Structure 1
Amino acid sequence: MNTPAPARTRPAPRRGGGWLAVLRTPVGAAAGLLLGAVLVLAVIAPPLWHDQAATINTGDLLKGASSAHWAGTDNLGRDLFLRVLVATRLSVGLALLAMLVAVVAGLLLGTAAVVVGRRAARLIAAVVDIAVAFPGLLLALFFAVIFGVGTTGAVLAIGCATAPGFARLTQTLVAGVVARDYVAAARIAGVGRIRLLTRHVLPNIAEPLVVNATIGAGSALLSFAALSFLGLGVQGASYDWGRLLGEGLDGIYVHPAAALAPGVAVIVAGLAFNLFGEAVAKRIGLTGTGQPPSRGRAARPGAAPTARTSAEASTDVVLDVRDLTVTVTGPDGPVRPVRGVGFRLLRGEAVGIVGESGSGKSMTVLAVAGLLDERLQVDADRLTFLGTDLLSGSPRDHARLLGSSFAMVFQDPMTSFNPALRVGSQLAEVSRRHGGLNRRDAAARAVDRLRAVRIPAAERRAYQYPHEFSGGMRQRAMIGMGMMGSPALIVADEPTTALDVTVQRQVLRLIDSVRRSAAVATLLISHDVTVVGQVCDRVLVMYAGRIVEELPASELATKARHPYTRALVAAVPDMRSDPHRPLPVIPGRLPDPSELPVGCAFAPRCSLADDRCHRHEPPLETDADGRRVACWQADAEPRRGSDFDSRADVTPPSAHKTDARTHSAADAPAAPTGERP
C-alpha cells in the first residue's frame, strides 16, 4: 500500500531561549554589557588611538594623572590610558587564542575514550590525571620554558596548561553520555566512532563546555597577563596589559596610576568573562541543543533498509546461542556474571527471560548485540544471528546486520533517545545509514513508522524533541525506531517498567501485534512473570548468570519444576490474593557473581535444598517434552503454603487470560527490588 506524502509542517519552536534569557537576569545583563564593552573596545581601540598611544612626547615624561592624560604618561611621554585601551585587542585576542588551544586539546584528550581503544584511552586518562594535579600557573611556566619566550610560546603554554582541566571535565561529561541507552542503540545501528562522537555525544555536552570555556577565557586572560608581567609573554614593540603592568610597577610609589590602569583593565575583563560564564551556567544549566531533521516526501513503497540474503530467509532460526559466557577480570580473578547460557529463538516466536535484578538477563542480550564494555570477554560455542556467526567475521558486517535486523527497546524511554536531536531525525538515521535512503525519504519513512506505532499527528511529532513526548509515546517511538529497518528480532528490555498499567497494556499489545503481523521474533526481558506469561510462548528463568528452567509460558503458574520459578510466581500478587496475609517473599539475596556458593547457587535460599544441593551444581537437563530444568529437587513437592508453593496465592492461567475490561495480569504491581523479584 502506498504511503501518502506527509504534509509539510513547521518544526515545533524550541522552548527555553536559554542564551538570550541570560541577558534578562540582573547579573547576566551586567556581565553581558561589560563583556560586550570589552569586545567592542578590542575591535575599535587600535584603529582609533594607536597613533596617539605611540606618540613620544619628551616634554611630558612621567606625568601624573590629569585632564590631558587620565592615567598619566610613561617614561617616553606616551599616554598610558590610550595605551591601555589599545592593548585591549592584543590582551583579549591572545587570551581567546590560548583558550582555543585549550579547548581543542581538551576535547581531543577528553573524548579519547569514544574514539581510540581502551588501552590508549586509559593511558591518556592517566596523563590528564597527572597534569590536573599541578597548579595551572606552574604548568604555564613549565610550558613557557619549553615553547620559548614570546607571544607564540605564551599562547601555547597557557593553552597546554589549561587543557588538562578542560579534558577532565570533558571526560566526566562523556562518561555520563556514553552510558545512555541511545548511544547503545546508535552502536547497534552501526554508527561509527567519529559520527557517534559528533552526533550523539558532543551535542549533549556542548553547553557546559561552552560555559566552562567562557569562564576559562577570564582565567587565561589573567595567566597571559602574568606571563607578560614576568617578561615571558609579549615582546618587542608590541604590548599588552601584563607588559604595561610590569613597566608601571617600577615607579609605583611615585607614579601609581601607571600600574593601576592596566591592573584595573585585567580585573574588569577577567570579571566580565567569569561573570558571564557563571550567569550562563546558572540560567541554562546542562540542556542540549537540537538539530532538526530534513523535511521530505514519503518513501517509495516497499523501500527497505536492507534486503535479507537467501541464506537468511531459508531458515526459521533467528538467534542461536550455545554456552554463552561473559567474563570480567576482578581483583581476585575472573568473574563470570553469565555462565553457559544457551537458547534458540525462531521466527515469529515470543520468548521471555525472567529473574531478579542482577541475574544476568540484560547482560546476556547485550553480549549478543556486542554492546558490552571491551573489558568484558564474551565466549560461546555458538552465537549466530540469521545464520551469521557473530564471533567471527568483520565487525563492520556485523554492525550492518544488527543495525537493520536487530531492534532493541530499552527499559527507560527517556534515556533511550538523544535529548539533543528531534525524534524524527533519530529514527531517520537508521534508514539513511543502512538503507541508503536520502534525507527526504528517510525522514518520510520515520513519519510512517511513527504512524505505524499509533502516535497521533506523526508529522508534527517527528519535529519534536523527546522531552515533549509522554513516557508511553517515547516507548512506542522506540519500537518505531526498531521497525525502521526490516527487523527479524525485537528485544524488549523491561519495556513497561516506567509506565502505568494502562500504557503497559498498550505497549505489550503493540509489541505483540508487530510480532504477529511481520513474523518477528521477540525476546522480552522482565522481572514480572505474569507479564511474560501473558505475551510469550516460552519462558527462560535465569538465576545467578545461568538458565535454571525453560518451559512453556502457559505452564508457568502450574507446572514449574524449579523452586526459584515457583517462588517468582508466588511472589506476584493478583486479585485473588488474601489482603490479610503477608506477601510471599524469597528469603535471602541473589549471590554476588564473584562469590558464588559451592553447588547450586539457589541452595542457600531454598527450603528444599539438601546436602547434595550444597555440594554439586545441578546440570541443565532436557526432558522428553523439550522442557529444561537445573535442579536436584525438580520433582520434589513443596510444602503446602510455603514460599515455593505457587498454588497458594497464584491465580490459575485462565484467570491471567481474562478480558482486559475486567482484569489483566499486567496490572499486577511489580515486586520491589531486593528480597522480592
Structure 2
Amino acid sequence: MAAQRTRQPTRRWRQVVRTPLGAGASLLMALVLLLALVAPMLWTDQADAVDTGNILAGPSAEHWAGTDNLGRDILFRSLVAARLSVGLALTATAIAIVLGLLLGTAPMLLGRRLGRLVTASVDIAVAFPGLLLALFFAVIFGVGARGAVLAIGIAGAPSFARLVHTLVAGVAARDYVAAARAAGVGRVRVLLRHVLPNISEPLIVNATIGAGGALLSFAGLSFLGLGVQAPQYDWGRLLFDGIGALYVNPAAALAPGLTVLLAGLAFNLFGESVAKGLGVATLGHLPERRSAGPATSGPPTIRAEEPVVAGDDEAPVLDVRDLWVSFPGADGPVQPVRGVSFAVRRGEAVGVVGESGSGKSLTALAVSRLIEEPGRVEAARLQLLGADLRTGSERAQRQLLGTSLAMVFQDPMTSFNPTRRMGGQLAEVARQHQGMTRRDAFGRAVDRLAAVRIPEARRRAGQYPHEFSGGMRQRAMIGMGLMGSPALIIADEPTTALDVTVQQQVLDLLQAIREADDVALVLISHDVTVVGEVCDRVLVMYAGRIVEDLAAADLATGAAHPYTRALVAAVPDMETDLEQPLAVVPGRPVAPGEVPAGCAYAARCPLADDRCRAEDPQLASFETPDHRVACWHAGEPIPVDGPREPAPVDPVELVEVDAP
C-alpha cells in the first residue's frame, strides 16, 4: 500500500499526457526546452557568421529565412536565441513565484494588521494590466536584460500572490493545520510542512502558464527596445530588427515571430493540459475572494457567571470564566459564544451538548487559542494548569498547549496532512516540544500508535492517512495528543463519522486514557446519550450560552431546562412507540447574529411567557449548588398541548450564584 501511494503522483502525471492535448503540449514543450539547451552548441558559429556580400537577402536554399543587415542567417539566429529567451523568461517567472509566495503567505505569517496591508497592496497591483506594470518597472530599472527580468518578475508577482493567498486561506482552515497549531507548531513550520505541500500542484500549473506569459512579455519589451540590447539578441530583439526589413524580406520578422508563438503555446498548452488532467484551477478560473469586514470592538459589558465545580479544593486543569468570542458583521459584532463559564478538574469528564451553531466547537477553539483574526476572544479568566492563556509570549503558550492539551477534531480524514506519513506527523510534536532527535521522535510516535491500539504500529507509522480506516485515523489523532503528557483532552465530535462499533472503541479508548493518567476530558457531541454515559458532568449550550450544567447521572430524569429535556426526549430508545412520530425540538436554532432580547430559547419553548421574551435569565443554582440552570421556569412540567398562557414566576425558585 505504501508503494502504491508513492507511485500515485507518477500515475497522475502520466494521465496528463495520455490525452491528445496533453501529449501534443508535452511534446512541444520538450522540443522548446531541448532547442534552448542544444541550439547554441550546434549553430552559434552559423548564427554569428557575417556575410557582407549577402546583406538583407531573401529566403534561399542557403538561408531559409534570409539574412539580416550584416548578412547573418536569421533562422540560425532564431534557433540560438531560444536559450536566452527561455532562460530570461524562466528567471522572471522564478522572481514572480518567490515574490508571490512571500506576498501571498504574508497574512498567515505576519498577522492580521500587516497581512491586510499586504493584501490591499496586492489587490491594487492586480487591478493594473500586467504589461503596463512591466513597462512601468522597466523604466525604473533601466534598459537591458536585467531591468526587463526584474520588471516582468515583479509585474507577475501580484497575480501569483493572489492565487497563493486564496489557496493558503483554504488549506489553513483544515483540521490538520489546526491540529499542528494546537500542538504548538510555529507559523513558518506550519506553512512549510502542512500548507505549501498541499497547494503545490495548482502553483506548479499556474507557474507553467505564467512562464508562457513571461516569455511573451519579454519578447514585447525587447521589441520595444527596453529588453535585450545588442550584441545580445533574443526573439524580441530579432523581431525588432526584422520589422525594419519587413518590406524587403518578410521572413526576417516571420521566423522569430513564429518561434515566440510556438514557445508561448508550448508553455500555455502544457499548463492547461496539466490543469485539466489534475483538476486544478488556473489563474483565470479562481473563485472570487471577498475581503473580511472591518474590525469591530469587543463584546459589550459581560456578566460574570461563576462556574460551580464539585470536588475538593484542588485547582482545576481548565478554568474558564466569562468567555466571549466575537466576529465582525455587517451590522456590528456577531457573538457566537456569550459569557461561557466552566471548569474541569483532573480526571473529570465534562460533556458539552447542543445543536449545531450553539457555540460548542468555538468554545473549544477559543480555549485552544485557535481562533484567528478577525475573531476576538475575551474572558475574565482563561487558565490551563494555572497558566493564564490571555497573556504571555506566543512561544510559551505554544509550549504549554503543545504538551498539556490534546485536541481531537471531528473529521479524522481532515485531521492529518494527506501529503505526509503518519509517523512523521506524530513525531513532529516530540521534535518541536521535547527536543527529540528524528529517530527518537519516530520511536515515540510508534509507541503512541501502539498505545492507542493500532496494530503493527511500526509499519503503520510509514503509511499515509488515506491508508488508515476512519477509526484508526481517529485513534492516531488521539495518539498525536499523547505524544506529550496532556493534562486535558478536548474531543470535538470524535465519533461523528464512525460506525457504532468503532464509536464505542474510540470512547473506550478515551475513557481508558482518562482513568490511566488522570487526564481531564472535555467531550463535545450532539449525542446526548453518549455524553451521559461517558461524562461526569454535562454542559448544555444554546445560542452561545450555557443554559444548564448538571451531573450526567441526572441528565435523563433530572434535567430542569426545557431545551435539555427536549434534547433528551428527541433520542429514541427501546421503549419508543414506533407507531408515533419521533420527538423533535420544535423550531430552528437562533442564528448567532440574530439573538433576540430575553431568553434565546423563548420562541421554541412551550413554557415561555412575556418575562422570558423580555428578560434573559442568569445561569443560577437550582435545588443543589452543583446544578445550574438559566431559565425562569426551570423544572416546571411541560404542557402536552402546546404553549401555556403567561403566568407569574416565583423568583424564590432560582438562587443567583454570587461571584467571589
- 1:332 aligns to what? 331
Q: Which runs of 5+ in 1 are unaligned?
A: 1-8, 288-313, 645-677
1:392 counterpart residue number: 391
- Deviation, 1:594, is 2.7
Partner in structure 2 of residue 70 of structure 1: 64
Amino acid corresponding to residue 335 of structure 2 in structure 1: R
RMSD: 2.0
Structure 1 counterpart of 2:516, one-letter code:
S
How big is each residue's C-alpha offset from its partner over 1:103-139, in whole Å with a ceiling of 9 and x where there is no partner? 0111011011111121111111111112212222222
In the aligned structure 2, how far is the partner of 1:324 from the partner of 1:198? Answer: 33
Residue of structure 1 aligned with 2:247, choices 237, 248, 253: 253
Task: Name the structure 1 match of 2:77.
Answer: 83
**C-alpha separation between the residues in 1 aligned to 2:395 and 2:224?**
55
User: Are the counterparts in 2 of residues 449 and 483 from structure 1 also a CA contact under 8 Å?
Assistant: yes
Distance 1:69 1:110, change over 3 A: same
Query: How big is the shift at 1:643?
Result: 10
Which residue is equivalent to 1:112?
106
Q: What is the aligned partner in structure 2 of residue 268 from structure 1?
A: 262
Paired position in structure 1 for 2:355: 356
The CA deviation at 1:490 is: 0.8
Q: CA 1:513–1:641 in structure 2 vs 1: closer, same or farther (change >3 Å)?
A: farther
Contact 2:607 2:643 in 1 (8 A): no
Alpha carbons 1:205, 1:286 under 8 Å: kept? no
Equivalent pairs: percent with the same residue?
Answer: 67
| Aligned residues of 1:325 and 1:336 also touching (Cα < 8 A) | yes
CA distance in 1, matches of 2:611, 2:501: 46
8 A Cα contact 1:140 1:158, kept in partner? yes
Structure 2: distance between partners of 1:208 and 1:607: 54
**Structure 1 letter corresponding to 2:8:** R
After the TM superposition, which of the residue ranges 20-29 and 376-385 deviates more from structure 2?
A: 20-29
Q: Secondary structure at the match of 1:321?
A: strand
Residue equivalent to 1:219: 213
Instruction: Please give the secondary structure, in 2, of the residue aligned with 1:324.
Output: strand
1:61 aligns with 2:60: no
Stretch moving more, 45-54 or 227-236: 45-54
Look up the match of 2:447.
448
Matched, 1:626 2:626: yes
| Higher deviation after alignment, 142-151 or 604-613 | 142-151
Q: Which amino acid counterpart does residue 366 of structure 1 have in structure 2? A: L
Distance in structure 2 (CA, Å) of the matches to 1:219 and 1:275: 12
Which aligned pairs between 1:313-324 and structure 2 lie closer than 5 A?
A: 315=314, 317-324=316-323
Equivalent in the alignment of 1:294:
none
Q: What CA distance in whole angstroms lies between the structure 2 residues aligned with 1:181 and 1:641?
A: 45
In 2: Cα distance, 1:142 partner to 1:643 partner? 72
How far apart are 1:280 and its partner, in Å?
2.2
What is the alpha-carbon distance in structure 2 between the residues aligned to residue 641 and residue 365 of structure 1? 38
Residue 179 in structure 1 maps to residue 173 in structure 2: yes
The SS at the match of 2:328 is strand
Q: Map of 1:7-86 to 2, 5 A cutoff?
A: 13-17=6-10, 18-86=12-80
1:656 paired residue number: none
**Alpha-carbon distance, 1:331 to partner:** 3.1
Q: Deviations over 1:345-379 (max 9, x none)?
A: 11111110001111111111111111111222222
Separation in structure 1 between the aligned mates of residue 438 and residue 553 of structure 2, nearest angstrom:
46
CA deviation string 1:440-470 (max 9, x = no partner): 0110111111111121222121111111212
What secondary structure sits across from 2:8 in the alignment?
coil
Decide which moves more: 277-286 or 536-545.
277-286
Q: Do the aligned residues in 2 keep the contact of 1:450 with 1:477 (CA within 8 Å)?
A: yes
8 Å CA contact 1:147–1:153 kept in 2: the answer is yes
SS at the partner of 1:631? coil
Going from structure 1 to structure 2, the CA distance change for 1:387 and 1:438 (only over 3 Å counts) comes to same
Whole-angstrom CA distance in 2 between matches of 1:394 and 1:260: 65
CA contact (8 A) 1:383 1:390 kept: yes
Aligned to 1:159: 153
Aligned to 1:543: 542
Please give the secondary structure, in 2, of the residue aligned with 1:333: coil
Tell me if the contact between 1:564 and 1:602 (Cα under 8 Å) persists in the aligned partners.
Answer: yes
Give the TM-score, by structure 1 length.
0.87
Matches within 5 A, 1:86-235: 86-235=80-229
**Deviation for aligned residue 1:478:** 0.5
Task: Tell me the distance in 2 between the aligned counterparts of 1:392 and 1:112.
Answer: 24
| Cα deviation code 1:411-435 (max 9, x no counterpart) | 1111111111111110000111111
TM-score, normalised relative to structure 2:
0.89
Per the alignment, residue 575 of structure 2 pairs with 576
Residue matched to 2:511: 512
**How do 1:475-624 and structure 2 match up within 5 A?**
475-623=474-622, 624=624
Residue identity opposite 2:269 in structure 1? L
Q: How much does 1:21 deviate?
A: 4.5
Match of residue 375 from structure 1: 374
Q: 1:298 — aligned with what? A: none
Deviation of the 1:484 alpha carbon: 0.9
The match for 1:466 is 465
CA contact (8 A) 1:12 1:463 kept: no
Deviation string 1:241-270 (CA, Å, 9 cap, x unpaired) is 011112112332331111111111011111
Mapped to 2, the partners of 1:356 and 1:108 lie a distance apart of 41
Superposition deviation, residue 204 in structure 1 = 0.9
| Residues 606, 639 of structure 2: 8 Å contact kept | no
Contact residue 608 and residue 643 of structure 2 kept, 8 A: no
Q: Is the contact between residue 11 and residue 464 of structure 1 (CA under 8 Å) also seen in structure 2? A: no
Distance 1:26 1:70 in 2: 31
Deviation of 1:233 after TM superposition, in Å, equals 0.8
Query: Equivalent residue of 2:391, what SS?
Result: coil
1:11–1:463: 8 Å Cα contact kept in structure 2? no
Give distance in 1, aligned partners of 2:508 and 2:164: 42
Per mean C-alpha deviation after superposition, the further-off stretch among 427-436 and 577-586 is 577-586
Alignment-derived partner of residue 438 in structure 2: 439
Counterpart Cα distance in 1 of 2:82 and 2:8? 37
Which stretch shifts more, 245-254 or 528-537?
245-254
Q: Which moved more, 1:67-76 or 1:555-564?
A: 67-76
- Partners of 2:643 and 2:514 lie apart in 1 by 35
Change (3 A) 1:10 1:42: closer
Letter in 2 for 1:332: D
Paired residues of 2:95 and 2:154 also in contact (CA < 8 A): yes
The residue number in structure 2 matching 1:658 is: none
Distance 1:249 1:286 in 2: 40
State the AA in 2 paired with 1:494: E
Q: What is the letter of the counterpart of residue 168 of structure 1?
A: R
- How far apart are residue 599 of structure 1 and its match? 1.1
Query: What secondary structure sits across from 2:56 in the alignment?
Result: coil
**For 2:216 and 2:242, how far apart are their aligned partners in 1?**
17
Asked whether the equivalents of residues 360 and 545 of structure 1 are also in contact (C-alpha less than 8 Å), the reply is yes
Letter of the 1:15 counterpart: Q
Asked whether 1:410 is paired with 2:409, we answer yes
Judging changes above 3 Å, is the alpha-carbon distance between structure 1 residues 12 and 32 closer, same or farther for their aligned structure 2 residues?
Answer: closer
- Tell me the SS of whatever aligns to 1:326: strand
Task: Give, in whole Å, the separation in 2 of the partners of 1:643 and 1:103.
Answer: 64
1:387 Cα deviation (Å)? 1.4
**Structure 2 Cα separation of the partners of residues 642 and 561 of structure 1:** 18
Q: Is the 8 A contact 1:586 1:643 kept in 2?
A: no
| Cα separation, 2, equivalents of 1:246 and 1:58 | 21
